[in-house]
Amino acid sequence: MNNNRNSLIRLMIMLCGIAATAMIFLPALHYPETENAFTGYESVFGVTIVDIGSIASGQIELNLLGILAYVLPFAAFMMAIFLKRGAIFASLLFVAGAILLFLIPEMTRTTVTILGTSHDLDVDWQFAYGLIAAIVLSVVGAVFSFVNISMNAENG
């Protein structure tokens, strides 16, 4: 019975890790004034928002911590599945991933270039449903990892 429960918990950890990472393809950031939403992929790898040739352009810049935020849940499930005592590392990675995912709107740098001069914009990004789902899945993955730790401690 404990083996079935342990397998089910590992399956849930795996599903949370994969699903949280897959949320990169859903809208992550929303700009309410224009109703524009950008996927997690666009918000962490960067995208050109507006391009008017050499006159003006606007872009979301590359965000390395944002990339890490989406990779950590996947790494967490890999640790939990393939390492004997990987649940400890998995729980830490899930928590770190959830924190970084929560900080993505603040870490996202948006710039505008007008006639060759670049300026940072202070954009009030809001959470879109893909980013919220990724955060929730990371927290749920952390909870399952903590449960896995306690079950392993009980079994010796």
Which whole number is the average pLDDT over 1-15? 85
What pLDDT digit, counting tens, does each position of 33-47 carry? 888 899 999 999 999
* pLDDT for residue 156 is more than 80: no
What pLDDT digit, counting tens, does each position of 120-151 carry? 888 889 999 999 999 999 999 999 999 988 88
3-state secondary structure of 29: strand
Structure tokens at 1: 């019975």
State the DSSP H helix or E strand holding residue 95, giving kind and residue range, or none if neither: helix 86-107
Radius of gyration, CA atoms only, the chain? 19
State the DSSP H helix or E strand holding residue 56, giving kind and residue range, or none if neither: strand 56-60
pLDDT of residue 1: 58
Domains of the chain: 2-155 (1.20.140)
- The mean predicted confidence, pLDDT, of the chain is 91
Q: In the 8-state DSSP scheme, what is residue 34?
A: T
Which DSSP string corresponds to 103-154?
Answer: HHHHH--EEEEETTEEEEE----EE-HHHHHHHHHHHHHHHHHHHHHHHHHH
> CA-to-CA distance for 15 and 90, rounded, in angstroms?
13
Which DSSP string corresponds to 71-87?
Answer: HHHHHHHHHHHHSTTHH
Q: State the virtual CA torsion across 127, 138, 136, 104 in degrees, nearest 10.
A: -10
* pLDDT for residue 16 is more than 90: yes
Going by C-alpha positions, the residue among 72, 49, 52, 78 that lies closest to residue 61 is 49
